[in-house]
């Protein structure tokens, strides 16, 4: 019983460097903050407080989950004052 081995890694990265990343939204944290993942190389990004996209590190995942909890529990118009 042999399973076909999927070669991942080399081609997607080449693809991204040629055509750019193909991000899709993986999580809506708040109205303004979202998490993104590239379909090709699995690179993850998140929206920073200034509106720019930055690398989604474990620390930002943690911050986002806290933001998400505040956001969904409050549903308030006020911005969370974490930043
Ligand atoms: Zn990519």
* 1 pLDDT more than 90: no
| Top-confidence residue, 40 or 82 | 40
Reported as a single tens digit per residue, the pLDDT across 22-76 is: 999 999 999 889 999 999 999 999 998 788 999 999 999 999 999 999 988 876 5
Q: How far is the CA of 19 from the centre of ligand 1 (A)?
A: 9
Taking the C-alpha atoms of residue 2 and residue 56, their distance in angstroms, rounded to an integer, is: 36
Q: How far is the CA of 17 from the centre of ligand 1 (A)?
A: 8
Q: How far is the CA of 76 from the centre of ligand 1 (A)?
A: 34
Domain spans, the chain: 23-74
- The tokens describing 19, both together, are 């055509």
Query: Is residue 13 very low, low, confident or very high in pLDDT (cuts 50, 70, 90)?
Result: confident
pLDDT at position 30:
92
């Amino acid at each position: 019983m042999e399973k076909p081995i999927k070669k991942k890694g080399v081609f997607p990265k080449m693809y991204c460097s040629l055509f750019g990343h193909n991000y899709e939204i993986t999580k809506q944290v708040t109205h303004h903050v979202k998490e993104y993942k590239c379909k090709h190389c699995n690179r993850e990004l998140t929206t920073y407080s200034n509106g720019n996209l930055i690398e989604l590190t474990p620390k930002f995942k943690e911050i986002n989950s806290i933001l998400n909890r505040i956001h969904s529990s409050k549903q308030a118009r006020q911005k969370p004052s974490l930043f």
